[in-house]
Amino acid sequence: MPPTTWKDKALFTPGPLTTSRTVKQAMLRDLGSRDHEFIALVADVRRRLVEVAAADPDVYTAVLMQGSGTFAIESVIGSVIPPAGRLVVLVNGAYGERMVKIAQRLGFDVSELRAPEHAPVAVDALDALLATDEAVTHVAVVHCETTTGLMNPVEEVGAVVARYDRSLIVDAMSSFGAVPVDLAGWSVDYLISSANKCIEGVPGFAFVLARTAALQATKGYARSVSLDLLAQYEGLEKDGQFRFTPPVQVIMAFHQALVELEAEGGVAGRGARYQRNYARTLQGMVELGFRPYLSEQDRGYIITSFHYPAHPNFNFQRFYQLLSDRGHVIYPGKLSHADCFRIGHIGRLEIGDVESLLCSVRAVLVEMEIPI
């Protein structure tokens, strides 16, 4: 083990991410979960989340849910769909697939509309489906499909869903806080994200921005006690408390992270830093001979997938390890039809961290005897 004074490795991953020292320091306290100080902190976190979403607090509310991001997705799918409801999931990557799996396991009538992993979700097919299938009550889509880094056209999906008067669920896990959203404009009823992505907190809970009126109409639908979204909302509204043990320190860190997000200029400021990280990474990697997987118009600035180099000396495990030894953690690919790895642009990373990564990639290519 290196001494604890050593620098932590920089995380070029989709989360958990590199966080600021001050966010980590905010956890060095004990606070009772029923203490008025903690209750006030939770209320401020909920208020700030609605603000980050640029939503009207009279229309939207923030519900915090213990667990990782997937727990909150399972909470939404398992809590808001009526017994006779039908869910359509727009799939173009692993996170769309995961929502299908959750709905199937819960025993819902679910259908999926598939697009290739390198293309945006099938909005026209959704339009055609909703025109004929009146049993569909809910549509789910992933905002930034972290599998590839592709940005799905949630606004267009929302326009179709609104035209047919259905309910829209958005997994904005990896984009919320750094990519602007318009919940009312895009007709979103439920948007899900988590503590340890673009808000730059530490892992331990996730949250749902819900249209309050839609959520309040879901009484009796929940299939789970611990993941009951409406009960969680009612608990938070009633006395400001979680129903079951909250991750107190994680929420203290998250509050600090929200303060730091505001200081950086909110979503616009944070998005600008991530865009700089993305642009420099792309330019540097292309100079080193790497090819991005997605075409430019589909790429976001959250995470970028690169093809493996064609050279026979390339071995991802070795490439990963040599970069990690130099203090940079990248991310493997998750694609079914292409060999790719990913580099994230989110978390407390500055342009200097990107330069440092690019220097290491160059050195590692030399070490692996791959011509640049």
Minimum gap (Å) between residue 365 Cβ and ligand PLP: 28
Nearer to ligand PLP, 149 or 292 (CB): 149
Interface segment toward ligand PLP; rule CB under 6 A; list 53-61, 122-130, 171-179, 323-331: 171-179
Is 340 or 365 the residue whose CB approaches ligand PLP more closely? 340
DSSP state of 296: G
Of 364, 345, 371, 356, the C-alpha closest to 18 is 345
Nearer to ligand PLP, 121 or 322 (CB): 121
Exactly one of 121, 136, 154, 171 binds ligand PLP (CB under 6 A); which one? 171
DSSP labels, 195-261: TTSTT---SSEEEEEEEHHHHHTTTT--S-STT-HHHHHHHHHHHS--SS---HHHHHHHHHHHHHH
Q: Does 66 bind ligand PLP (CB under 6 A)?
A: no
- Residue 341: helix, strand or coil by DSSP? strand
With CB under 6 A as the rule, give the number of residues binding ligand PLP. 12
On whether the CB atoms of residues 315 and 323 are closer than 8 A, the answer is no
Among 79, 152, 174, 218, binds ligand PLP (CB under 6 A): 174
Residue from 110, 157, 161, 173 binding ligand PLP (CB under 6 A): 173
For ligand PLP, which residue of 68, 137, 256, 281 counts as binding (CB under 6 A)? 68
277 or 360, CB closer to ligand PLP?
Answer: 277
Q: Is 304 in the site for ligand PLP (CB under 6 A)?
A: no
CA-closest candidate to residue 298, choices 118, 177, 127: 118
In whole angstroms, give the CA distance from residue 47 to residue 181: 16
At its nearest, how many Å lie between ligand PLP and the CB of residue 83? 26
Is the preceding peptide bond at 16 cis, omega within 30 degrees of 0? yes
Task: Let me know: does 210 contact 182? Beta carbons within 8 Å.
Answer: no
Q: What angle do CA 295, 296, 299 make, to 5 degrees?
A: 90
Distance CA 201, CA 113 (A): 33
Give the per-residue contact string, 80-99, with ligand PLP (x = CB under 6 A; - = no). Answer: ---------------x----
Is position 284 an interface residue for ligand PLP (rule: CB under 6 A)? Answer: no
Contacts (CB under 6 A) with ligand PLP, residues 183-202: 194
- CA 280 – CA 313 distance, rounded (Å): 26
- Confirm if 80 and 74 have CB atoms less than 8 A apart: no
- Chain residue whose CB lies nearest ligand PLP: 69
Q: Cα–Cα distances in Å, from 266 out to 14, 44, 255, 272, 274?
A: 20, 16, 14, 10, 12
Q: Write down the least CB distance from residue 79 to ligand PLP, Å.
A: 17
Q: Which distant-in-sequence residues (6+ apart) come within 8 Å of 268 by Cβ?
A: 180
> Token digits for 295?
């075409």
For position 15 contacting ligand PLP by CB under 6 A, the verdict is yes
Site for ligand PLP in 218-257 (CB under 6 A): none
Tokens of 103: 């709905």
Residue nearer to ligand PLP on the CB measure, 61 or 196: 196
Minimum CB distance to ligand PLP smaller for 70 or for 275: 70
CB of 334 to ligand PLP, least distance (A): 10
Q: Which is nearer to ligand PLP, 18 or 68 (CB)?
A: 68
In angstroms, what is the minimal distance from the CB of 204 to ligand PLP?
10
- Per CB under 6 A, the segment of 67-75, 106-114, 159-167, 282-290 that binds ligand PLP is 67-75
DSSP code at position 30: -
- Span 108-167, contacts to ligand PLP by CB under 6 A: 142, 146
Amino acid of residue 62:
A
Q: Residue 74: helix, strand or coil by DSSP?
A: helix
Q: Which of 33, 70, 212, 241 binds ligand PLP (CB under 6 A)?
A: 70
158 vs 201, beta carbon nearer ligand PLP: 201
Instruction: Give residues in contact with ligand PLP (CB under 6 A).
Output: 14-15, 68-70, 95, 142, 146, 171, 173-174, 194
